[in-house]
Amino acid sequence: MTTNRLRLTQEKYQKWKCKHMSDTPYICWKRGAFVIAEDILNGKVTSFQVVQAAIQTCLRNSKLNAVVIERFALALKEAKAADLMIQSGKVVGPLHGVPFTVKESLGFEGLPHTVGSMKRIEKYASNDATVVARLKKAGAIVIGLSNCSEMALWPECSNPVYGKTSNPWNLNYTSGGSSGGDAAAVGAGIVPFGVGTDGGGSIRIPAAFCGVYGHKPSGGLVPLTGHPPLHDTGLENQDAQKVAAFFCAGPIAKTAKDLMPLLKIMAGPDGLDKNVKHLPAFSSCDINITEISVFMCSSPKVTFARAVAANVSEPIDVMGQMFASMGANVQSWNHHAIKDALMIWIEAVQHLSIAELISDGQGIRPIQELVKYMLHKSHYSLPAILATLTYQYSLPILKKCVSLDPKTRLGLQKDIENQLGDNGILIMPVFPSAAPKHGKMLFHPADFAYAGLFNALELPATSVPLGFDENGLPKSAQIIAAKNMDHLCIAAACLIEEKYKSSLTRSAD
């Protein structure tokens, strides 16, 4: 496959830089996307300068392996065109001239759409995914495609096609997955935002690991069109449409203030994702905290997952104290069904055929592939093989031991929504620990369920950074609200950002 895959040595970087760019003092990571757009519009900086600053930062941080398919020359050309449009009094939209990254699992017309699978090595997207098209229409400029896990099905960002993506705070640790490329790119200050997807924490987990903000929208709000399982022929598949109800695209951003305007651009029906039927009216993120009820669950117990570490629960408790000091009604909360988070998620996505998705419809013999993997001859990643083994052999046994009754999921959803109402938020861990070292997630495959639960419940959830642990890695929490109350969890994230200045950005070089 001939692609513009990003594999540049420092020598090649210097040659490329001399040919295409000059140094610019404008630093993307100090500004949010809409502040950058305003600066471009007001002539404080040009789109060309901003885009080349993003490219320079990307190249300096190539060890991250965050951006795996580059379109630098085209992005610079588009930036020049954006500047000419401003000179002639034409502005495309609210993100005019602002650079961003797109998860490779989301279709981008004319570029590879492998989703990290060797079975799709020759696949190119024939159309833009709906959210990509909408962000481009708003004037944003894609500098490249970001890395993801194989078929976007693992909370660590690694695959046989592009390799692994590292954490911008420590290259020995994972950036998380499956949207780990976007989170690493935003965390390293390459771009002010990226567009990822979340089917089991795939936006929130990498955002948490990389110290940035990530929002999983309410179910039925943002189309998944152009992303598995609604890719290729999936749009006509009823099971694919059923599973897609629990998956969604969403923003990963440098600043919490960008989440709602980005969500507004991305949201609404496209006529293809049958789960997105209407666009609810968005409420303002300007809330009176004294009218908000804050429910704290800093140490939930989830069966099969690790217990929440003290250095994860403690900052969440401090967060509750902060809201109490601001006048919010803060109280502890738990629910007996939280422990069943993993099984609730499995029940929700039971129509998903892991084997079909992993093999791109070609079929897979997981035991044979496991042997081939040990001999370094398999085209699949180990997580993909183990996921298929689990679904084919372990899950049927597990189903006999644990109920997969949808009443559990629907009952919990109803109870949480009744508890939260239209003025409540729930604060919980995204993950039981900070970012693990590369490969360690294999030993704790159920840990994603802390985040994945809210995919199954179709509730909005925002990941927020909360400083650092003793290893210098970001700490985090997730804020949940009732369905279609996305503005509440985003508003709370904005308050935390303002109070603690908690957005974290660091170059990995």
Q: What is the pLDDT of residue 6?
A: 62
- Checking if the pLDDT of 506 tops 90, the result is no
- Taking 60 as the threshold, does the pLDDT of residue 114 lie above it? yes
| Domain annotation for the chain: domains and CATH numbers | 17-266 (3.90.1300.10), 351-403 (no CATH)
Looking at the chain, the whole-number percentage of residues with pLDDT higher than 70 is: 91
Q: Cα–Cα distance between 248 and 231 in angstroms, integer?
A: 13
Q: Give per-residue pLDDT as tens, 5-37.
A: 665 445 555 565 555 555 555 666 678 999 999
Q: Which amino acid is at 330?
A: V
Q: Are strands 99-103 and 461-468 parallel, antiparallel or unpaired?
A: unpaired
- Token pair belonging to 399: 């189903």
Q: What is the pLDDT of residue 507?
A: 45
Answer whether 404's CB lies under 8 Å from 350's CB: yes
Phi, psi of 87 (to 5 degrees): -60, -30
Residues 227, 357: contact at Cβ < 8 Å? Answer: no
pLDDT category, 509, cuts 50, 70, 90? very low
Average pLDDT over residues 199-221: 98
User: Looking up tokens 């992303």, which residue turns up?
Assistant: 227
Q: Residue 427 pLDDT more than 60?
A: yes
Q: Is the peptide bond before 229 cis (omega within 30 degrees of 0)?
A: yes
- Contact of 106 with 132, CB cutoff 8 Å: yes
| Coil, strand or helix at 175 | coil
Q: What is the pLDDT of residue 234?
A: 86
**Higher pLDDT among residues 395 and 335, named by residue:** 335
Checking if the pLDDT of 309 tops 90, the result is yes
- The confidence band for 318, taking pLDDT boundaries of 50, 70 and 90, is very high
| 68 within 8 A of 181, measured Cβ to Cβ | yes
Catalytic residue among 47, 62, 103, 164: 103
pLDDT at 422 over 70: yes
Q: What is the pLDDT of residues 331-351, one digit of tens each?
A: 999 999 999 999 999 999 988
Residue 2 has pLDDT above 80, yes or no: no
Average pLDDT over residues 459-471: 96
421 or 286: which leads in pLDDT: 421
Q: Count the Cβ atoms, other than its own, within 10 Å of residue 351.
A: 16
Q: What mean pLDDT comes out for the span 206-218?
A: 98
Stretch (H or E) spanning 187: helix 180-187
pLDDT at 355 over 90: no
Decide if pLDDT at 140 tops 60.
yes
Residue type (1 letter), 262 = L
Q: What is the mean pLDDT of residues 84-100?
A: 95
Q: What is the mean pLDDT of the chain?
A: 92
Distances (CA, A) of 343 to 32, 46, 348, 404: 38, 50, 9, 7
User: What is the token pair recorded at 165?
Assistant: 């993506």
Q: State the pTM of this model.
A: 0.94
**How sure is the predictor about 503, in pLDDT bands with cuts at 50, 70 and 90?**
very low
| Active-site residue identified among 47, 117, 202, 299 | 202
Name the catalytic one among 178, 298, 299, 359. Answer: 178
Nearest Cα to Cα of residue 116 among 179, 171, 204: 179
- Mapped onto helix, strand or coil, the DSSP state of residue 21 is coil
Nearest to 289 by CA among 158, 423, 192, 446: 423
Identify whether 178 is a catalytic site residue. Answer: yes
> Residue 219: its pLDDT value, please?
98
> For the segment 233-249, what is each residue's pLDDT rounded down to a tens digit?
889 999 999 999 999 99
Q: How far apart are CA 272 and CA 277, in angstroms?
A: 10
Q: Is the pLDDT of residue 44 over 50?
A: yes
Q: What is the pLDDT of residue 31?
A: 87
Distance CA 27, CA 41 (A): 17
Range from 170-174, 292-296, 360-364, 368-372 carrying the lowest mean pLDDT: 360-364
- Under the banding of pLDDT at 50, 70 and 90, the label for residue 405 is confident
What is the band of 280 on the pLDDT scale with cuts at 50, 70, 90? confident
